[in-house]
Amino acid sequence: MKFNPDGQLYKLTTVTTQFIFLNLLYILSCLPIITIGVATSALFEVLLRYADNERGNLIRDYFQAIKSNWKQATAAFAVLSVPIALLIYSSSFWFGGGTILTSIIGVVSAILAAYFFVVLALSLSLIGRYKNSLKQTLKNAFLLPVADPVRSLGVLLIPVVLFCLMVLFPGFRLFLPLFGFVLICYCSAFLLLSIFKRWN
């Protein structure tokens, strides 16, 4: 059988291999915790390009994106991860109260945590996609969920659905270290591109 480097099977195998390596690189890049922001921003950058038909070498471009995004992405992650953590803690605390009032406060805290999570995802993807000041990037990230709530909600629901699948189907957890994070960002990239193109 003649090997065809332009064949669909070869392209599919190449992309699958790159996605697996990219997912592993992302996990390793996140291990110091403080680097989660820059790693996620770099992952968004290369996958936004790929989703927008801007082909390249995913692995090489990922390292280049880390180098160019680390200052703003680390700052954005530091600024936004603190209120997310506090709101999640607040939500769990108030839900433990067992009354209607505390439950309402818990729901409000959970909604705010979800909003800040979307803002964080938007911030990191904006850093990877555009060249702006950190102040302008955060301003845009806070306004976009209000301007485009439906697709912004989709950015939140994609990782939530994957988490639910892992809870309901334990065998699905094997999928996370192989493709999980890349698949989340890749699916989110199409929503993000549609948001950016609408409001650009």
Q: How far is CA 158 from CA 18, 155, 184, 191, in A?
A: 21, 6, 6, 10
Name the band, by pLDDT with cuts 50, 70 and 90, for residue 5.
low
Q: What is the pTM of this model?
A: 0.88
pLDDT digits (tens, 9 = 90+) for 133-183: 999 999 999 999 999 999 999 999 998 888 888 878 877 777 777 888 998
Q: How far is CA 38 from CA 50, 74, 177, 184, in A?
A: 18, 6, 19, 16
Cα 178 from Cα 184, distance rounded (Å): 12
pLDDT digits (tens, 9 = 90+) for 36-65: 999 999 999 999 999 988 777 889 999 999
pLDDT digits (tens, 9 = 90+) for 76-116: 999 999 999 999 999 999 988 888 999 999 999 999 999 99
Residue among 160, 162, 161, 146 nearest 195 (CA): 146
Cα 148 from Cα 53, distance rounded (Å): 24
